[in-house]
Structure 1
Amino acid sequence: MSGLARYLTAAVLVRGADSGASVGLLLLAADRHQSAATGGLLVAALTAPHLVGPWLAVRLDRARDRRRLLALAYLVYGVALTAGALAAGRLPTAAALAAVAVAGACGPLLTGGLSSVLDDLGPGRRGRGWDALTYGLGGTAGPATAAALTALAGPLEAVLALAVAAVAAGALVVTLPVAGRAHPGEAAGLRAGLAVLVRRGPLRRVTLLTVLAAVELGALPVVAVRFGAELHGTAAAGATLTVSYGAGSLLGSAMVTAWPLRGEPEVLATRLFAAMAAATAMSAFAPAYAVAIAGFAALGVLNAMSFTATLSARGTYAPANAQAQVFVTSAGLKVTSAAAGAALAGAASGLGGRALLLAAAAATGLAVVAAWVDGKLAPAFVPTR
């Protein structure tokens, strides 16, 4: 198996485990007669620690062998997730939350941390398309696996299987042909690494696009439930919209893998996010349910393409001594922003699906305008590597 094939297999396994764990923990809490609030706390414990990402990224940038650190993180994730699942409903809630939080702290290395080593495998922009596809596959297969295994064997077994998948990904990562660091201490410190995101215009603008547009991405599943019910009269209709969006994301990832994006990554990202804002606004005016399904599928395609453009931008504009910090910090900010989007959409659900979609389009549109204005005010950047 080639290095890229091992990378992609590990990426699907570990990202599937990460996305499926939230579903598995919710099902496990319900199975053990825990309250919905407890299930929510378990999910929050898994996602909130992503904020420690920048500190982990410094360690990854400075590691002589990044494969070992990534593999260790995946092992810890699997063990901690197992401990949290075994403790849920059987030990004090605090014990389960603490164990799940340890797993969550490893989360940034499952996403941006792994993406930061892809360039060492030399796949170019096509590789970024493949990488984006692993996010889509993992995000789809993880929850589906959790639900299927829960039905077949039980929620505990489902979570344990996801934990094993993370550990298996770590075993594959160790074998990747990633170059060692002769002078790992030359990596940028935390403050200097974070400053890269602010001082380098293209990175700043792509990060701005990523963070503000993530508000829409986090809100869409909540909005879909409301919008689907309005158009079709059933709550299940919202799930269909979400499935359509996911299918579109997979299709978009496959498209940019087969036909890699060409051009300046920052320009591509700006244009694709602008298209996504426009498509979201148009979906808000869908006259019929079938049109809304098509609109959500188009949103999924555009999201996958814009995500691939942001991955390419980070790889192009980030300096070699801060690659992990750029990838991990951006991913952590995106997760946090998406969570805020979901919370805001839930709080404002009384406004109705159409109004919420327009608000989501406005958030992404604001990101595009802000990035465009910043680009006019800041000088161009020419990568030095």
Structure 2
Amino acid sequence: MLRRYWAGVIAARTGDESSGPALLLLGLGSSNAVPGSALLAGLTIAAAAGGPLLGAALDRARSPGRVLAGALAGYAAGLALVTVAFGRMPFALVLATAMLAGLLNPAVAGGWTAQLPPLVLRERLPRASRLDAMTFTAASLAGPGLAGVLATLAGAPLALAAASALIAAAVPVAWGLPRRTERPPAPPKLRAAALLLLRNRALRRATVTTTLSYAGIGMATVCYPVLGVHRLGGAGPGTLLLTAMAVASLVATTLPRPGPPDTAVLLSTVVIGLGLLAAASASGVVLLIAAVALTGFGEGPQLAAVFEVRHREAPAAGRAQVFTTAASVKIGGMAAGTALAGPFAGTSPAACLCVAAGLQLAAASGYLVCSAGIRRPSPARGA
């Protein structure tokens, strides 16, 4: 079952990672970065609202895999409708479709990860968390590259259609995830996960740090295709910069990590900021790729460390709510970054990357601020 889990995760997350660049390239096809960034921002903003509700449904279900499968199917269908409707229907309606699909987006991130603990032994969960984070990195490696190649060869609509098909391919795997053998314990109230993210020091600082950090990464996601137009001769090659970042991220995630995951969250955020700042000032192709790789060396370990913190601190009865709510908040930060970057990147992608680097500094500062105060006991340990 675990092998099928990994196969489903990789397919769904590769499709999700390719959908963002495909949406951006779809907009760039109209010679304007704003439509693509607006679609991506609308999809990610809606995800911030959908996560808590989806998490509650997963925690309450005797067959959470079937709830997950339904969410994945709806997400894939929404992306397919955007593919068909863009350029044929009013943009406001296309944007509304993207936002409806975005409500189900947390299924790809937190929804899958919350199903991992029952499939592995408790002592193997830290290693499984790193492998789970590596699936994000592998998807970040394959997804943008797939979108860039397909968009270059056959157009952005085909790239977005392929993203939808990959997500749909994961539906049968999710449907087949094991049912709970016992009636699930009563999950906490819908707002409980949000309160836990605020009151638990480790979860609070990890959430604040990654939310601000992903706002900067969202800006970079919009900047790289535009930067490709300015420095690499086209938006497609610019999208491949995301692949270079993912390669470095994958390598960094496989390396042994000294110290606790909490410290890794802070240090990796600083590395991301340095990489974004270097990309803004890089004068040649080699230096630009090196700077993007440095960003990846921070992003991969940051994600793996955050997963470990959440598994450690979240109570079993509300694990899905904690993961999907935290993912929604982080996605909301990324949405804010993509929305800000749309018109900004078109004017000056270098200045946009400098702002993204500044957000990493704000994220590191937020970590230090949230570290103050008395530590509250972990509900997971208390249980």
Output the TM-score relative to the length of structure 2. 0.83
Deviation at 1:135, TM superposition (A): 1.6
Aligned partner of 1:18 among 16, 26, 34: 16
Matched, 1:379 2:375: yes
Alignment of 1:42-61 (within 5 A): 42-51=39-48, 52-61=50-59
Which residue is equivalent to 2:145?
A: 144
Q: CA RMSD in A?
A: 3.5
SS of the residue corresponding to residue 314 of structure 1 reads helix
Which residue in 2 is equivalent to 1:191?
Answer: 191
The residue aligned with 1:206 is 206
Given that 1:65 and 1:181 are in contact with CA atoms closer than 8 Å, whether structure 2 keeps it comes out as no
Amino acid at match of 1:198: L
What's 1:360 paired with? Answer: 356
The 5 Å alignment of 1:148-163 reads 148-149=149-150, 156-163=157-164
Instruction: Tell me the amino acid that sits aligned with residue 203 of structure 1.
Output: L
1:166 CA displacement: 1.8
3-state SS in 1 of match to 2:272: helix
Determine which structure has more spread, i.e. the larger CA radius of gyration: 1
CA distance in 2: counterparts of 1:66 and 1:139, whole angstroms:
26
State the alpha-carbon separation in 1 of the partners of residues 154 and 66 from structure 2.
33
Q: Is residue 126–residue 256 contact of structure 1 (8 Å, CA) maintained in 2?
A: no
- Indicate if the aligned counterparts of 1:241 and 1:292 stay in contact, CA closer than 8 A: no
Between 218-227 and 199-208, the greater mean CA deviation after superposition:
218-227
Whole-angstrom CA distance in 1 between matches of 2:53 and 2:40: 22
1:342 aligns to 2:338 (yes or no): yes
For residue 253 of structure 1, what is the amino acid of its counterpart? L
Pair 346,102 (structure 1): closer, same or farther in 2 beyond 3 Å: closer
- Contact residue 116 and residue 324 of structure 1 kept, 8 A: yes
Please report how far the alpha carbon of residue 341 of structure 1 lies from its aligned counterpart in structure 2 after TM superposition: 2.2
* Cα-to-partner distance string for 1:240-274 (whole Å, 9 max, x where unaligned): 676455324333324424x4535422122122223
Which amino acid letter does the alignment assign opposite residue 250 of structure 2? S
Deviation at residue 363 of structure 1 after TM alignment: 2.0
Partner AA of 2:192 in structure 1: A
Tell me the SS of whatever aligns to 2:306.
Answer: helix
For the pair 1:329 / 2:325, whether they are aligned, the reply is yes
**Alignment size in residue pairs:** 377
1:216 maps to 216
Correspondent of 2:246 among 245, 249, 255:
249
Partner in structure 1 of residue 295 of structure 2: 299
Kept in 2, the 8 Å contact 1:224–1:239? The answer is no
Letter in 2 for 1:316: R
Contact 2:72–2:170 under 8 Å retained in 1: yes
**What corresponds to 1:131 in structure 2?**
132
Change (3 A) 1:242 1:8: same
2:52/2:324 contact within 8 Å kept = yes
Tell me the amino acid that sits aligned with residue 19 of structure 1: E
Which 5+ residue runs of structure 1 have no aligned equivalent?
A: none
User: Aligned partners of 2:137 and 2:250: how far apart in 1?
Assistant: 7
Query: Contact 2:142/2:243 (CA < 8 Å) preserved in 1?
Result: no
Answer yes or no: is the 8 Å Cα contact 1:281–1:357 preserved in 2. yes
What is the CA distance between 1:25 and its match in structure 2? 4.9
Distance of 2:289 and 2:236 partners within structure 1 = 10
The aligned residue for residue 116 of structure 1 is 114
**Matched residue type, 1:48:** I
Within 5 Å, give how 1:22-41 maps onto structure 2.
Answer: 22-25=20-23
Q: Distance in 1 between matches of 2:346 and 2:85?
A: 37
Displacement of 1:319 in angstroms is 1.3
* Alpha-carbon spacing, 1:34–1:151, altered in 2? closer, same or farther (3 Å): closer
When residues 96 and 279 of structure 1 are mapped into structure 2, their CA distance, relative to the original with a 3 A threshold, is closer
8 Å contact 1:22–1:46 — kept in the other structure?
A: no
> Structure 1 residue 237: deviation in Å?
8.4
Which amino acid counterpart does residue 314 of structure 2 have in structure 1?
A
The match for 1:5 is 3
- The 2-side partners of 1:280 and 1:40 are apart by 19
1:117-150 superposed Cα distances (whole Å, 9 cap, x missing partner): 1222225222222222222232343343344445
Tell me, yes or no, if the aligned pair for 1:149 and 1:155 is still in contact at 8 Å. Answer: yes
Determine the C-alpha separation between the residues in 2 that align with 1:245 and 1:155. 16
Which residue number in structure 1 is paired with residue 180 of structure 2? 180
- Counterparts of residues 244-283 of structure 1 (less than 5 Å): 244=241, 246-257=243-254, 259-261=255-257, 263-281=259-277
Deviates most, 76-85 or 299-308: 76-85
Q: CA deviation at 1:195?
A: 0.6
Gap change, CA 1:96 and 1:5, over 3 Å in 2: same
CA distance in 2, matches of 1:34, 1:362: 29
* CA drift at 1:196: 0.8
Higher relative contact order (CA 8 A, sep 6+): 2
User: CA offset at residue 11 of structure 1?
Assistant: 1.4
Task: Give 1:106 deviation, angstroms.
Answer: 1.2
- Percent identity over paired residues: 30
Q: Provide the rounded CA distance (Å) in 2 between the counterparts of 1:42 and 1:350.
A: 16
Change (3 A) 1:288 1:117: same
- Give the 3 Å change call, closer, same or farther, for CA 139–286 of structure 1 in structure 2: closer
Deviations 1:53-82 (CA, angstroms, capped at 9, x unpaired): 111111111111111111111122233333
Letter in 1 for 2:188: A
